[in-house]
Structure 1
Amino acid sequence: MFIFKQSAIAALTTAVLMTVSFSASADQLADIKQKGTLICGTLGTAEPFSFPNPSTREIQGYDVDFCKAIAKSLNVKLELKMISVAARIPELQQSRVDIVIANLGWTPERAEQIAYSDGYYASLQKVAARRSSGYKSLNDLTGKRVSATKGSTSELGVRKSLPTASTTTFQDPPAAFLAMQQGKVEGFAVSELMLVKFKQQTEDSSPIDILEPALMNEYWGVGMRKEEPGLIKHVNGVLENMEKTGEAKQVFDKWLGPNTAYKLQRGFKIEPIKG
């Protein structure tokens, strides 16, 4: 009887290990196609990348259009999941989302945890200050207080470029900006694009200045789990095709180009991110 029990336990253990091994090697690309839905994690609070349409409240923007393009390429429905900046990598690692397209700047530390697609956007990270404060350059904030979004590359950029500054973090850019406007901090770090928007909104009431030089140039990629080579290859193929056909430039011009409030020219192409 004892021998039988040992054999049964051994067989059960083998079955469990085989199940775990099968699950670990499962193809996420095939799983997405089978379930018929792509879950794309995005911020939902970062205009013009992912933000509510004022009329419909539907989430729209530059990042959302890339989510849509990838879902369309797989012939599946798109499900947008709103996540915070700090939760982007944990949500991905815990399989609560399939991909992350959420202002996810490349850093060596993040690249050790997750896989990045080719860069689909390049963003300058800068710091702003209230005009009334009299700060003229980035170095004027040495030893001062600077706000940033928690877990963002802007936060990392402040710590690297202004090591003596005191960094105060918030859950989203509007909260970090408000802290500067209320005098709780002297500077506010975020992408140049968002600073242009904040500057336009406050020019008549409480003007700000965008300080030079920039903290860093940040390349954004689609975040994926490292153990999914099929999905990584597919996503990069979609991005490459969007670049070749001009669709990527059309998305840029739609949200950021000369006929928008930002009036930016696209000075980059989709290509592998060089660490």
Structure 2
Amino acid sequence: MSIFKKSVLAAALLAASFSAAADQLADIKQKGTLICGTLGTAEPFSFPNPSTREIQGYDVDFCKAVAKSLGVKLELKMISVAARVPELQQNRVDIVAANLGWTAERAQQIAFSDAYYVSLQKVAAKRTSGLKAPADLAGKRVSATKGSTSEIAVRQAIPTASTITFQDPPAAFLAMQQGKVEGFAVSELMLVKFQQQVEGSSPIDILTPALSNEYWGIGIRKEETGMIKYVNGVLEGMEKSGEAKQIFDKWLGTGTQYKLQRGFKIEPIKG
């Protein structure tokens, strides 16, 4: 093949990829459904309503906002932590809103929207252990969710610890309660929840300082430039209108069991 023909072919393939990306929004509107991948097991971000069993939460409300802006129905697809990136890459979901923290490695595989949540990654231990800081877990076993940024944070912050991974946070927490590991790493928010659940029977302490800050974005396929721009536009509008803060207050704010204050705004993730 001549150099000219190769150049023409390359240009055609590039044009086709841009066309496919540009058509993604149109495809969603045509089928009338936005498929959003979420965990379904991570209260208060995506979890079953105790009465209706319908999946609800912070992440779900952001999925709903994107679907509403497009004028389409929302279809939630439950995925595991480890499957978040593969499900997106294999076109099984349109977007992912599933406690998806930005990492350099993930950013090479998929695109991230602006950060719609900022999470502190921390580690906890049984109060009876006497452990006070993450450094005290050096050489010990720490549980985390497989494929999570908590797992990465442990490996980076406590390199001599043995990281034992599980499919979801409840299983990783149970491992600590059963004495299979000495520490349990997850977001500060989830640790507060677990701490409240066991305070009267088997209390745990949340160790300081934090392992890391984690910036959550909505996952989008890299080639879908139109979708990336659109989702960021929706998020920007939600920040300006106050809707983003309302969602935070609804699920995480001072009137909830977590009693958190929103110390961030929706902004681009600086990798």
Match of 2:181 among 181, 185, 188: 185
- In the alignment, the residues of structure 2 paired with residue 101 and residue 248 of structure 1 have an alpha-carbon distance, to the nearest angstrom, of 14
Q: CA deviation at 1:183?
A: 0.2
Contact kept, 8 Å, 2:17 with 2:223, in 1: the verdict is: no
Query: Match of 1:176?
Result: 172
Query: Match of 1:115?
Result: 111
Match of 1:130 among 126, 133, 149: 126
Q: CA deviation at 1:42?
A: 0.2
- In the alignment, the residues of structure 2 paired with residue 213 and residue 25 of structure 1 have an alpha-carbon distance, to the nearest angstrom, of 47
Tell whether 2:250 aligns with 1:254: yes
Tell whether 2:246 aligns with 1:245: no
Query: Match of 1:38?
Result: 34
Q: Which amino acid in 2 is paired with 1:168?
A: I
Count of residue pairs brought into register by the alignment: 260
Contact kept, 8 Å, 2:250 with 2:256, in 1: the verdict is: yes
Q: Which amino acid in 1 is paired with 2:251?
A: W
Query: Match of 1:167?
Result: 163
Tell whether 2:232 aligns with 1:236: yes
Query: Match of 1:219?
Result: 215
Q: CA deviation at 1:28?
A: 1.0
Query: Match of 1:5?
Result: none
Residue-by-residue CA offset, 1:27-51 (whole Å, 9 max, x unaligned): 2111101100000000000000000
Q: CA deviation at 1:25?
A: 3.5
Tell whether 2:55 aligns with 1:59: yes
Q: Which amino acid in 1 is paired with 2:50?
A: P
Query: Match of 2:139?
Result: 143
- In the alignment, the residues of structure 2 paired with residue 112 and residue 84 of structure 1 have an alpha-carbon distance, to the nearest angstrom, of 20
Contact kept, 8 Å, 2:239 with 2:266, in 1: the verdict is: yes
| Structural RMSD (CA) | 1.6
Tell whether 2:74 aligns with 1:78: yes
Contact kept, 8 Å, 2:47 with 2:55, in 1: the verdict is: yes
Unaligned runs of 5+ in 2: 1-11
Q: CA deviation at 1:137?
A: 1.0
- In the alignment, the residues of structure 2 paired with residue 170 and residue 24 of structure 1 have an alpha-carbon distance, to the nearest angstrom, of 39
Q: Which amino acid in 1 is paired with 2:131?
A: Y
Residue-by-residue CA offset, 1:147-205 (whole Å, 9 max, x unaligned): 00000000000000000000000000000000000000000000000000000000001
Residue-by-residue CA offset, 1:208-247 (whole Å, 9 max, x unaligned): 0000110000000000001011111100000000000000
SS of equivalent to 1:56: coil
Q: Which amino acid in 2 is paired with 1:113?
A: Q
TM-score by structure 1 length?
0.92
Match of 1:263 among 250, 259, 270: 259
Q: Which amino acid in 2 is paired with 1:246?
A: G
Q: Which amino acid in 2 is paired with 1:273?
A: I
SS of equivalent to 2:115: strand
Tell whether 2:258 aligns with 1:273: no
Unaligned runs of 5+ in 1: 1-17
Query: Match of 2:43?
Result: 47
SS of equivalent to 1:118: coil
Q: CA deviation at 1:97?
A: 0.2
Q: CA deviation at 1:136?
A: 1.0
Contact kept, 8 Å, 2:141 with 2:164, in 1: the verdict is: yes
- In the alignment, the residues of structure 2 paired with residue 232 and residue 40 of structure 1 have an alpha-carbon distance, to the nearest angstrom, of 14
- In the alignment, the residues of structure 2 paired with residue 19 and residue 89 of structure 1 have an alpha-carbon distance, to the nearest angstrom, of 24
Query: Match of 1:12?
Result: none
Identity %: 83
- In the alignment, the residues of structure 2 paired with residue 158 and residue 19 of structure 1 have an alpha-carbon distance, to the nearest angstrom, of 42
